[in-house]
Every structure is written in C-alpha cells, then in structure tokens.
Chains A and B, each alone.
Chain A
Amino acid sequence: MDLRYPIALLFVVLGAILTVFGVMTGSDTAMYERSAGININLAWGVVMIVFGAIMYGLAALARRRQSA
C-alpha cells in the first residue's frame, strides 16, 4: 500500500481537531500566553492539514502515473 495515504489521513484528522479546538479557544488569551501569544493550535492545525493534503496529492499523482 502507498504509505502516503495513511500519513495524509492522520495529518488531516489531527490538523482538523487542532484547528477546530484553536477556533473554539481563540478568545482565551490566558491559554495562549505560554506560547508567546500565538494561537498555536489554530496555526499548527492549518499547517498539518496543508501537509496532509500535499501527501494525498502526491499519492494520487503517483497512482495516476502508474495507471497511465
């Protein structure tokens, strides 16, 4: 199996959870004081979703090339 699919799945799911949690807690400034004032859950959640999408794209591209 192409390992990029489970990697994409894991990162999109974890990224989505962190993003939603980051949006829900965005107004809690005390919570993000420790991370230098950055809403790190939201910021990093989005980064993880993008990475997961890239991995999915690479896997789909490889499959298309193989079947061509």
Chain B
Amino acid sequence: MTQLTTIDYVVMAIYFVVVLGIGWALRRMMRTSSDFFLSGRSLPPWVTGLAFLSANLGAQEVIGMGASGAKYGLATSHFYWIGAIPAMVFVGIFMMPFYYGSKARSVPEYLKLRFDEKTRTFNAFGFAAMTIFSSGVSMYAMGKLLNLLLGWDFDTSILVSAAIVLAYVTLGGLTSAIYNEVLQFFMIVFGFAPLVWVGLKQVGGWDGMTSKLAAAATQRGLPEYAYTNVWQGMGSATTNSIGIEWFGMVMGLGFVLSFGYWCTDFLVVQRAMAADSMTAARRTPLIAAVPKMFFPFLVIVPGMIALAMGDNIIPAKLTAAGTPLLDTNGNVVLDYDLATPMMLVKLFPTGMLGLGLTALIASFMSGMAGNVTAFNTVWTYDIYQAHIRTQASDEHYLWMGRMATVGGIALSVAAAYVAGAFNNIMEFLQLVFAFVNAPLFATFALGMFWKRSTGHGAFWGLFAGTVAPAIHHGISLANGATPGVKGGFFGVMLTYPSEMAQTFWTAVAAFTTCFVVTILVSLATTPRQDAELEGLVYSLTPTPQDNVKAWYEKPSVFALVVLAAMVLLNVLFF
C-alpha cells in the first residue's frame, strides 16, 4: 500500500477546486433546456473534439488498455487505429450532416425522425440502462483500485467522486461536463507522458524495451515480434498475441464494433452535436482522431514497459483466501489491470505521484460524467418528454434534466455496489449490452443511406440483431473457457482460438442479422414519402456547404490527412 504525502493531496485538491469552479462559473448560463442538454450548440470544435475523445477515456480505457498492453503488447493499438480512426472519419464526413442538420437533440431522436417512435424507444431504453451500468462499473473499479493502492475507504471514494460529478454536471450541464472532459484530457496527457518517459529510460529506451519484449514473447512460445508488431503474424490466430486472424480483426473490430460505437453511441455523438456550426460538428471527430492515434504511446506503452521491466511489477491475482491464483497448468495468473497503477506507484516520487493519481481519478470521473450527461438527455427528451409529460414548459424540462442527473448518479452508485456484490452478474450484463450495441450501425447505415428502409424494418432488424449474437454466444466458446457466461450455454457448436475472436465474430453475427432482417422487412412494408425524409437520408439531402475560406480547411481534406497518418502508423509498426 502506498502512502501519499501532503504535496500529493495538495495537487489533487487544487485539481478538484478548478473542476468545481468551472461548474460554478457556468451555472448562470444554464437558462434553457437547450443550454443544459446541448450547450446551446455554441462550443468551438477544438473543445468538442477533445471532449469527443475524452468522454471515451474512462477508467476501463486507461486501466484496461494498459492491462492489454501488458498482456498483448503493441497489437492492442488496433483498438486505436483500425478500430477507431476509419469510424471517426466516417461519422464526421458522412453521418454528422444528418445528426446535426436534422436538429435532433439526441441519437434516439434521430431514429424517431427517420423511422418511428417504437424504434426510438427501443434504442433509448437500452442506451439509458447501458450508461447507468457503465458509470456504475467505472465507479466500482475506481473505489476498488483506490482501496487497493492507497488504502482509501471504498464507500468514501465512491461517494466523494459521485458528489463532485453531481455538483459540476447539475450546475453547468453538458457544457460543464465537456469543459471538464477537456481539462481531464490534458491532465491524463500530462500525468501519463512522464510515466512513459521515465519508464522507457528505465528499460533502455524503445530499443531496450523491444528486445526485452522479444525475449518475453519467445519465453511464452510466441514469435519474437508478437509484442512489438501490430500486423505481423495476423495470418493465423496462433501466431499473434491476441489470438485472432486478420479478417476477424478487420470485420469484427475494424468495421462492426468500431462503427457501432463511434458512429451511433450518443455518449460521444452528443459532444459533436454541441458544436457551434455544421462545419465544427463535422470537424469534431476528426480533431479527436489526431490525439486518438497517438494515445497507444500514452496508455498502452506503460503496460508494455511493465512487462519488459519484469521485477514483479505486475502482481498476481489473489484468491478469496489471499493466496496467488493459479491457472490449470499451475502457473500464477497475473492481475494485468494493475500494470499501469503499479507503474505510477513504482516510478513516480512524491509530487509527481499526486499528479499521476489525479490523472487516473480524472479518467474515472470523465467516463462517469460522460455517461451521466448522455443519460439525463436521453431520459428527459426520449423517455420523459416522449411518453410521460409531452407538453410541459421548457423550464420544467430543464428542472427534469437536473433531477435526472441526481437520479442517474444515484443509480450509478447503486450499480457500483451491485458490481461489488455480484461480479458474475455484471459480467453477464456487460455481455447483454454488447448484444444491444453491435447491430446499431446496420440500422443507422440503412436509415441514412437507403431511403427504402422503414420503421418496421429498423425495429425488427434491431430486435433480431440483438437476439442473434445471444444465440451465437450460446453456441460458441473460446479455447480453454468453461461453458457459462463465457458462452456455450446452448451447447458448443463453434470453437474460437480466443475470447477476443469470439467477441468479434459475435459482433459480425449481430450486424449481419440486423442488416438482412432490416432489408427484408423494409421490402415487405410501406416506406415513407420522399418529402418526409429530406435532411434525414443521403440521397434526399443537399451536400453540406462548409463555411471555410480555403480548400485545405475542408473537413474532407482533414479526413484524408487523418487516414494517411493512420496508414503510416500501421506501416511503421507493421
């Protein structure tokens, strides 16, 4: 357990004072529900762009990607490169004109405008439940980590962090959440960059790290490039560290999962919808893509350094009795989730340790606030206003937004305690939400680019696309896993080389089913008139005019530069 000193607490306290100060300074500007839920559509693109990225920088990201870096090496970068950049470019260039131009106040509301009420409601309830659950899991992970690392009381950690998020979101609405997400982005960069610098110095620079990782890979029966290259060895699932072949990676992660998340998840799209113009909204995901590309060097490399350092940096997982957990071969199972936190504790002296831990806590709170602001908007506009009180005043919906923030935080705290009490239930719920998310891109793609698709097609496509992955999961299992939450509960008919391969192919099953069912049902039902779909479908919407002075300021030019940079990174670390 690590003891913090006064200087560490001073650093943390100053950060939290500024966070709350931003909420306090913005409270007078929240006059209408549009101010509270959409920032009055008044934010510049550099702010919405960094918030677009930071809203996704929750605990699971910072801790989880460090863990994957220690477990799989640089191949984890697929989640940042092919698993993010093409989708971010696509949503910015092709989908944002519909989200922003249709004046929809949320992603479910776009579904209402394009399809019908039942499709919107199906999406709104699933999304609202998912945000509460994600926020709760983030809180639970933070409370557990701070207890393990610093000996802080679990209840106090959760309640204090929840109170801080509640205060600044209730006071300043979405603007406060976005401003603090940008602040948290810089804190994470400045908290983790010195960790990489010092860590690389400890292992003899980049070359020293790669040679140590080559030795570690060989020792584990993998090719020596397994931890330091991203595409080499992807020809077969057995010759790379993550256990999946290139086609499953490109289709499952690069297409279905990444487009499903970055193009349809209201948590991130809401940031772009707060931008001050159509051009700013289109630039938002493109601006986010630039730091996103380089984030592997900030969050994955610390895990790789931990693996290269050896020295028992990564502790063993413990059983309930407190003894090291052993796998079926009698080897100690390492707790990779502690790779990044242990690096902070081992490499940072007093002072910098306070900054590093503040960055870690900032990432937890960033994810929590992002989920809560998305929840309060969907609850107020897509559930409360749509089904409970349809004709109230704007002041009433502003009040309801604040109440939804309080309710959302309270439910998140409850979810955190459920996560602590029933770990397997949370794992199961995580799986269920993966089923809900995977088919979404098919619905949106057909809605935006095929005017013949209908509300009935979208609804039944989404429904079938949620059931199909559940069935696929029930008949498949990863090598070495036991039937249950991990799959195979209907009997094992398909076997995958790794859990990641199983996840990616489950997503492909969801997308394909949703896509096919939506088309078939749409062809059997009556479409809406063209006049009703103007501004909602690509072929019926004028090409957006960018208010830029020179050709190189156009979002499409920016997008090409971003894609070229991503290709270059993949070539450099092939």
Contacts and interface: CB of A to CB of B under 8 A. Distances in A.
Binding partners A and B? yes
Interface of A: 1, 3, 6-7, 9-11, 13-14, 17-18, 21-22, 25, 31-32, 34-36, 38, 40-41, 43-44, 47-48, 51
A14 B15 contact: yes
Contact of A10 (B14, B194, B347): B14
Nearest to A18: B351
A29 B14 CA distance: 28
Nearest to A38: B198
A47 to B, nearest CB: 8
B183 A41 contact: no
A44 B25 contact: no
A44 B14 contact: no
Given A10-B14, A32-B349, 10 more contacts: A6-B179, A11-B190, A18-B352, A22-B351, A31-B350, A35-B198, A36-B201, A36-B202, A43-B194, A44-B355
B55 interface: no
B75 interface: no
Contact of A17 (B11, B183, B194): B11
16 contacts: A3-B47, A6-B18, A6-B25, A7-B182, A7-B186, A10-B14, A21-B351, A22-B351, A34-B349, A35-B198, A35-B348, A36-B201, A38-B198, A40-B194, A40-B198, A47-B190
Contacts of A43: 194
Contacts of A10: 14-15, 18, 183
Contacts of A14: 11, 14-15, 355
Q: Among B11, B182, B351, which residue has the most Cβ atoms of chain A within 10 A?
A: B351
Contact of A9 (B7, B18, B182, B350): B18
A34 B347 contact: yes
Nearest to B26: A1
A21 to B, nearest CB: 5
A18 B201 contact: no
A3 B179 contact: yes
Interface string B1-41: 00000010011001100100110011000000000000000
B346 interface: yes
Nearest to B11: A14
Contacts of B14: 10, 13-14, 17
Given A1-B26, A3-B47, A40 B186 contact: no
B198 A36 contact: yes
Contacts of B7: 17, 21
Contacts of B202: 36
B78 to A, nearest CB: 30
Contact of B183 (A7, A31, A48): A7
Contacts of A18: 11, 351-352, 355
Interface string B335-358: 000000000001111111001000
Contacts of A51: 186, 190
Q: Among A25, A34, A38, which residue has the most Cβ atoms of chain B within 10 A?
A: A34
Nearest to B191: A44
Q: Among B14, B18, B22, B352, which residue has the most Cβ atoms of chain A within 10 A?
A: B352
B138 to A, nearest CB: 23
Contacts of A22: 351
A11 B7 CA distance: 15
B179 to A, nearest CB: 5
Interface in B204-261: none
Contact of B10 (A17, A32, A44, A47): A17
B190 A48 contact: yes
Contact of B182 (A3, A31, A40): A3
Given A21-B7, A34-B348, A41-B349, A6 B22 contact: yes
B201 A38 contact: yes
A40 B352 CA distance: 7
Given A10-B15, A14-B355, A44 B350 contact: no
Contacts of B201: 36, 38
A11 B179 CA distance: 15
Contacts of B25: 1, 6
Contact of A44 (B182, B186, B346, B352): B352
Nearest to A40: B352
Interface in B298-335: none
A44 B14 CA distance: 17
Contact of B21 (A6, A21, A36): A6
Nearest to B5: A21
B296 to A, nearest CB: 21
A67 B350 CA distance: 44
A50 to B, nearest CB: 11
Interface string B155-188: 0000000000000000000000001001100100
B26 A41 contact: no
A17 B7 CA distance: 8
